[in-house]
Each structure stands twice: as structure tokens, then as C-alpha cells.
Amino acid sequence: MIFKGFSRREIILFVLASFGVIIGGFHLYSQFAEESAKTKQAELVDLASKEERCKGDLMIGESRVKSSRNLSKLVNENIAHPRLSQPSAAAGFTPNSPYLLIRTVAVPLIPVDAAEKRNDFFKSLSEATNSPPPPLKVNAKSLDVQNKQAVVFSDCSDKPFVVNIKDLYEISQTVDYDNF
């Protein structure tokens, strides 16, 4: 017999201790599984919230273009009014200020490396199509006038990304109010 040399009391204590370890292990496992489920649920809620904010930024971009006759001409006819307001050092660039990202060629709206990998909606924004992507409200983080680039961020991307200054436009275009 395996327990030869042990008293009945020692064997019972050993069996009880074994059950205690098994029950404790199961309890720890269930706590870990519960925490993991909560974390995963929170991530899904955050992702859904981020998607809604991104869709809001796309709606803002679309509504601002529709409300501006000159931005509408740019998007629909690819005709840029020479006095469209764009970011520049001379215009008093302010970090974190909102702009419209308007691309007039068929390129991805956001770079592939900035797209949220777990969501098809975000992945679709990083894919090129046959037509220019929709306008998007972004916030400019920094401006590099010498290289004609800006670093922008948006709820549509995981991280800030670089765009050409020529693709950024002021949210409100004063040129729309000329000649009234």
C-alpha cells in the first residue's frame, strides 16, 4: 500500500489538504476567467465607442463639406479655390486644433499601420478604393512646414499618422462668405 508507515490521521489530513489545494486552484482559475471576461468585454465596449466616435468624425467631415460650397467643389469636382484656408505657420497653427482631411485621389483614408486590427470597419478605412475616401475631421498634432506634412490623430486610427498639408483644410472656410 502507498500509505504504509503513515497513521490514519496523517492520511486523512493529506487527503483533506489535497482537496483544499484542488478547490483553491479551481477558485483561482474561476477568478482569472472572470477577470479575463470582464477585460475582454471592456475592450469590446471601448472599441465600439471608438467606432462610434470615428463615425461621428466622418459625419462632421461630410456635413462640413456639404455646408461649404468651395469644399464641395473640391470634393465633387476636384476644383480647389485658391483661397481655401489650410494650416500654416503664418495662419497661427495651434496644436490639437481640428481640421478636415480631404483626399482628392483614391488612397486609403488612414495608413494601414494606424488601423485598428480587430475591427473590419477600421480595416476598411485603411484600404484603397476606386474613389477618394470620405472627408474626416482630424486634430493636428504638429506641423512640418518645410516638408509640407502634418501629424494628425483621429478616433479612426490607433496612433497619430502623417498627412500632406495640402490634404488638410480649416473646418470653417471664410472664402465661402466672400461676395455676400
pLDDT at 84 over 80: yes
The amino acid present at 60, given as its one-letter code, is I
Pairing verdict, β 136-144 and 149-153? antiparallel
Q: What are phi and psi of 76, to 5 degrees?
A: -85, -30
Task: Specify the pLDDT at position 151.
Answer: 95
Q: What percent of the chain has pLDDT over 90?
A: 37
The residues, ordered by sequence, that sit 6+ positions from 32 with a Cβ below 8 Å of its Cβ are none
- Which pLDDT band, with edges at 50, 70 and 90, does 169 fall under? very high
CA distance 146 to 105: 23
- Look at 1 and 37; give whichever has higher pLDDT: 37
Q: How far is CA 165 from CA 52, 120, 143, 156, in A?
A: 26, 28, 8, 19
38: DSSP letter: H
DSSP 166: G
What is the mean predicted confidence (pLDDT) over 84-110? 87
- Cα distances (angstroms) measured from residue 100 to each of 6, 137, 141, 173: 80, 5, 13, 11
Q: DSSP assignment, residue 144?
A: E
Query: Residue 24 belongs to what H/E stretch?
Result: helix 8-66
